[in-house]
Structure 1
């Protein structure tokens, strides 16, 4: 075992973020890799045991991390987003949660062999899915907007409800079975829950008011928010255990619906913090398990309980609760299957295991084993199946990476038409109906709106698009668009056209630091490209083969040609830029802008047709 606490923290961070990177690189569920990494570092090889080594600070660290993660997730719960989803979401988080609780308690009693008291406590906890596991899966699966929003809202809203339900079940059982606990104790629990909601609302309104009135400078806004979140969670949790989760959820939802620009500006920073916390906390939890806990999972009763929760309790609760809603059968099937459990279930179950054991319920020693069995099983089963099932149900936006182009012009319309011919999803967005007319006449998908507006964020689904080209008439506006969408697309997938060289806005130094990559070769400005497209320059698609290599293509191409992009067989697109010289390989398609040399055009077309026929034969 590693004795140094500092080295343990380093290893936990490396394993957590390393798992996230490997998941991105190899398109695997991140939560699965984190679970495996934690098990290898903890109970299997014995390198670390955070719960034992960190001592008294272990649980507070976990608790505060869960509070911040839940707050960050609830900041995305804008009521504008739930338009059209209200009834299904409300039914799932109320009736669906209640059905899941009752069915789960019966399964825990009759199959897992738990007493009724322990069964109802743990079943309340198991209605939780939560943002720590749902949000990474949604990013991975690229679901259509409707089922993705339903799963996100359910995960974030039910997270505190599940913990509170477990507390309520415990208090109610104590009320029934104990002579010392009266109705006042039960009433105090409901009052504490109401206090937590009001506290969260007040904290959210207070922070919002301070920001709007300018009482907090920009550089202090993120620290202030996080300090208030921890204070809100701690105060509520000290009043009644687990109500802190309800308080931070209420605070996040309050801030999300105030629509304060400062909160929106900080959202990406908070997402990064949340990702770091999810990665490290999940490693800490799995690494703190023991081999005895893992061996208990192989118990036939525990395995039977997990199977019932996977294939009966969850699907049945969703199916019954959504009767009479407008959810389609594929949507019900997908939502009824996807319910991974995560950090909240693991942390709260360990708390109740100790409390119930103190109350004399000996079967509570199985709680951690049952919880981890369900967490790991659901994470693996749902993590590896969500993409496959979404595709089968036609609920996935999976496909070749698409290109979103802001700004309709002669050049961008022809470029979009060429991409469409290459089977690349493409869309042009512009705030002018007049400029979009040529795109609609060319059969190119369009969206009328301002790309930076809040309305566009709610009404336009950007899931199919992995590349963004800012191609308006203003360099500064293009740079602003690229900078705004860095967290969404990643800096490497953001491009912009230069309006002019060494003139106009003359933002050369600015766009290199905060904008997107400047497309194509030096001198290929917005004005020049549109001028050439208007003069009859052709967009030519050339197949690179074993007999006609990229070197041959470069030797034979017209001197006036401008190289635009390379489409790979995988669907990936590499754009030519001023600072990045890409090369085509066999099987790639090179798109370029060629001069309108009619005779050369005919010869080139005939040569390409002959090469294609030879390759096919």
Structure 2
């Protein structure tokens, strides 16, 4: 069966989609610039090797695909522009986009003219215009990896986004001049493109925001509606003046980003995925057109021109654009080294080559070869060495010392206050409970209502300088999930979580468990609120302070340490700020009554409950004897309260009580509680708590469970010679 052009078109697009996305995934896994793999993959898929991608089969459709994809990429770039970042380095950014453009354009054209005197000056100017652009598709991932200081980050990002449409306009100006248009007319067209692109972009961006803000678009259709708006804005720009659509979509994206609609995070995430898809497809399609012969013919002269662009023209551009501003020589060197070209340069070079091929065959190939050589040279050399350059020049952003604390309860507030006031680091409290967040703000803390699982929080201004996580919810699984999600952003050594069972689940966790011997954060917070516990700041050098409560945070060597007891300095005493949780009177000890500690010779469970409840009623007459007795017996039928090893903790709530009360009974002969280990119960803690105090009730039970889980403590309690001896041993064993 004969293969039709339609079959080749389908094969080409399927292969471009599949290979492009696969190579982007691989590049993320191996931490390599995606463009390197896409260029190699596109060339391998093309007619030169595998032949599964045939861009010629697309005909004029290739131009449409390229222009539309570039428009969507620039729309995504516009969405990410930060006005605050522009204000931080507005001078250098303005110069890079004006004077710097001229330096790169004319400097490159002169270098080509000198080294390749046979190349017409018009072609040299066109080639120079095509390497003006850098591009967010390369700069964005590079900045994420290197994490340079804020000023460099903003300069490079703003330059990469806005220089793309500027470079395209300059390239079109040169193209129209080559095509025979008079210089004055070409310049007039340039001005008209700028005016029309700005007008359509601003108007379209405002209209798109209006539609989003007015809830006209259903929530489930927001992403695809914004995509349609971007395409429409691009089309409106192109209909009137070709190539003005690129400026239109960039400006529209910027306007929507500045207006900050509630759905902006979703839109950015969706558009970033669309941009990745567009980059993947474009590079596969365009790289498949390249031929090895054109690069071999480029020769040493071509390599020299590329070197001049990288090592002379770019540094000259940076010096001219930053002189007179507060930019250090190390920052200037870094800016000089980082200017990788991306998809816009590749797309325009390919489009120009296609449209000039018939008229300027050799020159068209020269332009394409030169631009792709610059792309490969800058992406490979600069992309792979950016981190090393940042380290050598010491321009990386300082390691973030701030803390994100999940949980706006009292315990979270105490830790946040220690971090912000004692460690002098940024602390931000995150919670979905608006009431708790409001209380935290009233305490002078920075707190926001948000879902801590949302990684887009890092894009918020409040999160600048945040590099550590402390998850303090009552849900152990949620805490571990938060650590897992944020470990990529902060690093595994910088995520911490409360977990009572972390020691039993080491293989499941990412991050470090803290305070595992303490009860749930909500219980501790309730205790702090009732002044039954206190978080005390101790700045003394007394080595005994570590045993005067539970140390929960220390500030030593300019770092916050959440496990101070495990890392206390050995030897001489050292004075450093230490946050100690002192439980002024623990739950169990406050619930014990000497008159309710008894030794009984009883053989069955019901008789035991009758005796203990009767004694409690003598102490607290308001307790309804029969109702409590029934509740205790019924609970045992459904859920036995034996802990094993001869211990049981029957318990219930009582509306008549205003405080917890705990009766303790020694039963030498033992009573059958249907214990999991089959052993008879010889020591009973009967706990009754007020109906409105679930935290204290659960905390007391947890205290008992932790205490008797220790074999030495358990044996000591079981071997007590009398009720008085038992109470004395309980007071010694219970945590202070």
TM-score, normalised with respect to structure 1 = 0.71
Is 1:96 the counterpart of 2:100? The answer is yes
* Residues 50 and 58 in structure 1, CA contact (< 8 A), matched pair in contact too: no
- 3-state secondary structure, aligned to 2:84: coil
Specify which structure has the bigger relative contact order, considering alpha-carbon pairs within 8 angstroms and separated by 6 or more residues.
Answer: 1
Query: Of residues 521, 526, 542 in structure 2, which corresponds to 1:526?
Result: 521
Aligned match of 1:240: 241
Gaps of 5+ in 2: 429-445, 451-456, 502-509, 528-532, 536-548, 553-562, 568-705, 713-736
Distance 1:493 1:271 in 2: 29
* Residues 482 and 496 in structure 1, CA contact (< 8 A), matched pair in contact too: no
1:361-510 matched pairs, under 5 angstroms = 362-397=362-397, 404-406=403-405, 436-440=416-420, 443=423, 445-447=425-427, 449-450=446-447, 457-458=460-461, 460-461=463-464, 465=467, 468-471=469-472, 489=489
Deviation string for 1:334-389 (max 9, x for gaps)? 11111111111111122223444555575233111111111111110111110100
- Shift in alpha-carbon separation, 1:215–1:441, aligned structure 2, 3 A: closer
Deviation string for 1:64-117 (max 9, x for gaps)? 111111101110113133222111111111111111111111012112442110
Distance 1:367 1:452 in 2: 54
- 3-state secondary structure, aligned to 2:85: coil
Larger C-alpha radius of gyration, 1 or 2? 2
Query: Of residues 31, 42, 46 in structure 1, which corresponds to 2:35?
Result: 31
* Residues 126 and 345 in structure 1, CA contact (< 8 A), matched pair in contact too: yes
- Shift in alpha-carbon separation, 1:459–1:322, aligned structure 2, 3 A: farther
Aligned match of 2:545: none
1:218-367 matched pairs, under 5 angstroms = 218-297=219-298, 299-360=299-360, 362-367=362-367
- Shift in alpha-carbon separation, 1:53–1:354, aligned structure 2, 3 A: closer
Shift of 1:498: 7.6
Deviation string for 1:380-412 (max 9, x for gaps)? 01111101000111112497x988432589998
Shift of 1:153: 0.5
Deviation string for 1:223-279 (max 9, x for gaps)? 221112112212322333322211111111111111221223321122122222222
TM-score, normalised with respect to structure 2 = 0.60
* Residues 83 and 258 in structure 2, CA contact (< 8 A), matched pair in contact too: yes
1:48-63 matched pairs, under 5 angstroms = 48-63=52-67
Distance 1:117 1:232 in 2: 32
Aligned match of 2:440: none
Distance 1:44 1:362 in 2: 20
- Shift in alpha-carbon separation, 1:487–1:94, aligned structure 2, 3 A: farther
- Shift in alpha-carbon separation, 1:522–1:286, aligned structure 2, 3 A: farther
Distance 2:373 2:237 in 1: 30
Aligned match of 1:117: 122
Distance 2:422 2:408 in 1: 12
Shift of 1:184: 4.4
* Residues 408 and 435 in structure 1, CA contact (< 8 A), matched pair in contact too: no
Aligned match of 1:536: 550
- Shift in alpha-carbon separation, 1:202–1:385, aligned structure 2, 3 A: same
Aligned match of 2:165: 160
Distance 1:222 1:287 in 2: 31
Aligned match of 2:205: 204
Which has the higher mean CA deviation after the structures are superposed, 246-255 or 136-145? 136-145
Which has the higher mean CA deviation after the structures are superposed, 267-276 or 184-193? 184-193
* Residues 112 and 305 in structure 1, CA contact (< 8 A), matched pair in contact too: no
Deviation string for 1:4-40 (max 9, x for gaps)? 6555444433433333333333332222222222222
- Shift in alpha-carbon separation, 1:55–1:396, aligned structure 2, 3 A: same
Which has the higher mean CA deviation after the structures are superposed, 357-366 or 152-161? 357-366
- Shift in alpha-carbon separation, 1:410–1:381, aligned structure 2, 3 A: same
Distance 2:11 2:155 in 1: 41
Shift of 1:123: 0.8
Distance 1:171 1:248 in 2: 22
* Residues 497 and 512 in structure 2, CA contact (< 8 A), matched pair in contact too: yes
- 3-state secondary structure, aligned to 1:405: strand
- 3-state secondary structure, aligned to 2:158: helix
- 3-state secondary structure, aligned to 1:289: coil
- Shift in alpha-carbon separation, 1:407–1:226, aligned structure 2, 3 A: closer
- Shift in alpha-carbon separation, 1:522–1:247, aligned structure 2, 3 A: farther
* Residues 145 and 461 in structure 1, CA contact (< 8 A), matched pair in contact too: no
- Shift in alpha-carbon separation, 1:529–1:28, aligned structure 2, 3 A: farther
Root-mean-square deviation over aligned CA pairs: 4.2
Q: How many residues align?
A: 503
Deviation string for 1:405-425 (max 9, x for gaps)? 32589998xxxxxxxxxxxxx
1:573-592 matched pairs, under 5 angstroms = none
Shift of 1:126: 0.9
Shift of 1:451: 5.3
- Shift in alpha-carbon separation, 1:39–1:242, aligned structure 2, 3 A: same
Aligned match of 1:580: none
Aligned match of 2:611: none
Distance 1:493 1:10 in 2: 42
